[in-house]
A and B are shown apart, each in its own frame.
Chain A
Amino acid sequence: MTQIASPPHPPEGSFSGLPIDEADLPTAHELYRGMSIVRAVELEIEKMHRLGRMSGSFHSSLGQEAAAVGVCSVLRVGDMVTSTHRGHGHALAKGVPIEGVFAELFGRSAGVSGGRGGSMHLHHRTSGFLGENAIVAGGLPWAAGAAWARRRRGGDDIAVAFIGDGGFAQGVTHETLLLARFWKSPCLIVCENNGLAHSMPSDRLFGAPGTIARTVEGAGITSRYVDGRDVVAVAKVARELVAHVRAGSPAFLECGVFRVRPHSLSDPDYRYRPKTAGRDWLALNDPMANLRTRLERFPGNEVARIDAEVAADVNAALARAEAGPRPPATDAKSFVYTSPELQNRA
């Protein structure tokens, strides 16, 4: 059995990241682009809420981008992902169009879920993004069943289910791990341990980071822990696990990350942690800034160009999304049933 280390939580302290060679540059640039997109989109969403142009709730993954982008960078389009209420990063990293995400959050017709899902119900099958599930850990069995079905039907696609550390407290997580092993579902469970299940400190509940991964390993499932600040390290371990999963068995990855923002927009997190906790952590541990610094050591790096392109893409997508039409009233009752006869009676 592999020994899974127990680093401190939140992941902090010395943080140089895995070395990047000249040969890794194209991949590292793509990882940087992916993280930039997630960061830029979520900052825009925050702004839109402040300005009152978006409504409802929003759970930011700011600071956790390396986990989503690192894992999804080693997946194929045909591979499937399920996610959580904090899932914008997973969606974008899996290739869901930026405009479709914005449009969904604006409640527009062109939203990936037709403007009827909102922030916690992004679905985009074409990208392999089965969807978020706003019930904690609710997406796990969905991913396991989908991966199993794909395999049964002759494909070699896999599924990845993202959960948070809070999701590890759910019974269905443990049921799914058991089922995936027993029924040989090619799925990878990625637990983003961001240190807090809403206000509950993860280490109080589960122990030090790495404990969750060890628990799963003890249940006979291949399992790893990775420092989720380093997108290069996440991609490396994810690549190994995905190969294992594609060969036909489930696997588990715990990513040590940190929740920079409050649980949601309306969450008074100062009641359970220092007011500056997020800002302080980000100043020293920002996964994006870290990768940027590493890339900037290479003359001829493309960081500035990527920054500019992402900013332009995101701004354009935002403007187009907001300008799109709202769904017609008739949409409210569509797609309740598949059968036309039942749909007519809905």
Chain B
Amino acid sequence: MRELKYAEAVRAALEAEMEADESVVIMGEEVGALGGVFTVTQGLVERFGEHRVLDSPISEAGMVGFAIGAAAEGMRPVVEIMFSDFVLLALDQIVNLGAKIRYMSNGQFSVPLTIRMPGGGGTNHGPQHSQSLESLFAHVPGLVVAMPSNPSDAYWMLREAVRSDDPVIFLESKNLYFRTSGDIDTRTGPEGFAASVVRPGDDLTVVTAGRMVERCVLAAEELAAENVACEVVDLRYLWPMDTASIEASLRRTGKLAVVSEAVEFCGWGGEVAAWAGEHCFESLDGPIVRVGSERVPIPYGHELEDQVVPTTERIVAELRKLADY
């Protein structure tokens, strides 16, 4: 067991995979001497050398395309995008090549590539450094979309991502990097794409992911005082989505809320809601509730951000309404 902060857990996973496999290399802006703007790669260039920790020019499209080419020829690159917002510069390479080359080539290529990036708000970085773009990636065939909500998941999900033979979009929460820590069993951990029930309850199901897991748990604790038992399901992966776990919970509770940091409109929460409506209609005892970000950019100050991103208070209010339905 090691107690690690979220950012340290990501680093520990990188170290473990780099030790285990020579073909694992890191590419990114300021990942070398600086150690990454969020300290994730600190010490790695000293330990593994410049040939395995490659400082990139500020060329997201070129770097990601380069990494795709290298992955298709047997390397296992882990690309760091400094802020998830910057991945938009590389979207063509990800969507048109990395995600499709296996399909387009009739199986001639695989792309064992991980693209890590810190997303979401909560750090006062303003509108171009705070977006939650996960719904975009969940929409693209060929990608895996991982969203760890805690240090242990960050560790084990990243190790699995690096070992995956398919491209993984790995969305970290920069708000959680230094704020959360946890005991991590680095010998054995969860494998596969199952969601995790982080708090059991029988009255209503709250499906969430990433940074919102923490707020949903806080909301559930508050509602427990009102004798409402919320079951909080941390999806962990947006694709593949563990619909079986959603269904199992919903069959017991009969009520579903989906909480996302991503913009609610056309966001992944809508997918969960639609899926539940199609497949669990008989189990539903109330309307499906979505709680997501407003369809506006993420503003700088906390007072404004709290008007846009779901707060614990807003989640509590929505869940209470649903419980009372």
Binding site for B on A (CB under 8 A): 111-114, 116-117, 121, 123-125, 130-131, 133, 135, 138, 140-150, 152-153, 159, 171-172, 175-176, 178-179, 182-183, 185, 334-339, 341-342, 345-346
Chain A residues near B104 (CB, 8 Å)?
113, 116-117, 121, 123, 131
B166/A138 in contact, CB under 8 A: no
Least CB separation from A148: chain B residue: B70
Chain B residues near A142 (CB, 8 Å)?
65-66, 68-69, 72, 97
A336/B103 in contact, CB under 8 A: yes
A141 with B106: in contact, given A131-B101, A179-B57 (CB under 8 Å)? no
A141/B54 in contact, CB under 8 A: no
Chain A residues near B93 (CB, 8 Å)?
138, 141, 172
B166/A179 in contact, CB under 8 A: no
Count chain B residues whose beta carbon lies closer than 8 angstroms to a beta carbon of A: 46
Least CB separation from A178: chain B residue: B57
Q: Could you say which of B62, B141, B142, B240 contacts A176, with CB atoms under 8 Å apart?
A: B62
Q: How many angstroms between the C-alpha atoms of A143 and B103 in the bound complex?
A: 18
Assess whether B289 is interfacial by the CB under 8 Å rule.
no
Least CB separation from B111: chain A residue: A338
Chain B residues near A339 (CB, 8 Å)?
164-166
Q: Could you say which of B71, B73, B107 contacts A150, with CB atoms under 8 Å apart?
A: B73
- What are 19 inter-chain pairs, A to B, with CB distance below 8 A? A111-B106, A113-B108, A114-B106, A123-B106, A125-B109, A133-B96, A138-B96, A141-B65, A142-B66, A142-B69, A145-B72, A146-B72, A148-B70, A175-B57, A175-B62, A179-B66, A335-B106, A337-B166, A342-B166
B74/A179 in contact, CB under 8 A: no
B62/A149 in contact, CB under 8 A: no
Give the Cβ gap from A60 to chain B, nearest Cβ, in Å.
21
Q: Among residues 107 to 128 in chain B, which have CB atoms less than 8 Å away from a CB atom of chain A? A: 107-112
Give the Cβ gap from A340 to chain B, nearest Cβ, in Å.
10
Q: How many angstroms between the C-alpha atoms of A84 and B188 in the bound complex?
A: 46
A182 with B57: in contact, given A133-B97, A138-B96 (CB under 8 Å)? yes
B73/A146 in contact, CB under 8 A: yes
Chain B residues near A175 (CB, 8 Å)?
57, 59, 61-63
Least CB separation from A175: chain B residue: B62
A138/B97 in contact, CB under 8 A: yes
Give the Cβ gap from B80 to chain A, nearest Cβ, in Å.
15
A338/B97 in contact, CB under 8 A: no
Contact with A along B67-92 (1 / 0, CB 8 A): 11111111100000000000000001
Assess whether B56 is interfacial by the CB under 8 Å rule.
yes
A335/B103 in contact, CB under 8 A: yes
Q: How many angstroms between the C-alpha atoms of A171 and B107 in the bound complex?
A: 29
A138/B65 in contact, CB under 8 A: yes
B69/A179 in contact, CB under 8 A: no
Assess whether B227 is interfacial by the CB under 8 Å rule.
no
Q: Among residues 29 to 78 in chain B, which have CB atoms less than 8 Å away from a CB atom of chain A? A: 51, 54, 56-57, 59, 61-75
Give the Cβ gap from B186 to chain A, nearest Cβ, in Å.
24
Q: How many angstroms between the C-alpha atoms of A141 and B68 in the bound complex?
A: 8
Least CB separation from A179: chain B residue: B62
A125/B141 in contact, CB under 8 A: no
A123/B74 in contact, CB under 8 A: no
A149/B69 in contact, CB under 8 A: yes
Least CB separation from B61: chain A residue: A172
Least CB separation from A180: chain B residue: B66
Q: How many angstroms between the C-alpha atoms of A114 and B63 in the bound complex?
A: 29
Least CB separation from B75: chain A residue: A149
Q: Could you say which of A124, A147, A334, A342 contacts B107, with CB atoms under 8 Å apart?
A: A334
Assess whether B144 is interfacial by the CB under 8 Å rule.
yes
Give the Cβ gap from B76 to chain A, nearest Cβ, in Å.
10
Q: Could you say which of B64, B73, B96, B105 contacts A135, with CB atoms under 8 Å apart?
A: B96
Assess whether B102 is interfacial by the CB under 8 Å rule.
yes
B102/A337 in contact, CB under 8 A: yes
Q: How many angstroms between the C-alpha atoms of A265 and B104 in the bound complex?
A: 22
A336/B141 in contact, CB under 8 A: yes
10 shortest interchain CB distances as A-B pairs: A145-B69, A141-B65, A175-B62, A114-B106, A175-B59, A149-B73, A123-B105, A145-B66, A338-B165, A149-B70
Chain A residues near B142 (CB, 8 Å)?
336-337
Chain A residues near B72 (CB, 8 Å)?
130, 142, 145-146, 149
Least CB separation from B56: chain A residue: A179
A141/B108 in contact, CB under 8 A: no
Chain A residues near B51 (CB, 8 Å)?
152
Least CB separation from B60: chain A residue: A175
Chain B residues near A131 (CB, 8 Å)?
101, 104-105
Chain A residues near B165 (CB, 8 Å)?
338-339
Most buried by A among B70, B92, B110, B142: B70
Q: How many angstroms between the C-alpha atoms of A111 and B75 in the bound complex?
A: 28
Give the Cβ gap from B192 to chain A, nearest Cβ, in Å.
8
A143 with B105: in contact, given A135-B92, A138-B97, A172-B61 (CB under 8 Å)? no
Q: How many angstroms between the C-alpha atoms of A145 and B75 in the bound complex?
A: 10
A149 with B65: in contact, given A125-B105, A142-B97 (CB under 8 Å)? no
Give the Cβ gap from A88 to chain B, nearest Cβ, in Å.
16
Least CB separation from A346: chain B residue: B141
Q: How many angstroms between the C-alpha atoms of A292 and B67 in the bound complex?
A: 43
A183/B73 in contact, CB under 8 A: no
Q: How many angstroms between the C-alpha atoms of A13 and B109 in the bound complex?
A: 45
Give the Cβ gap from A98 to chain B, nearest Cβ, in Å.
18
A117 with B109: in contact, given A142-B97, A179-B59 (CB under 8 Å)? no
Chain B residues near A153 (CB, 8 Å)?
23, 73-75
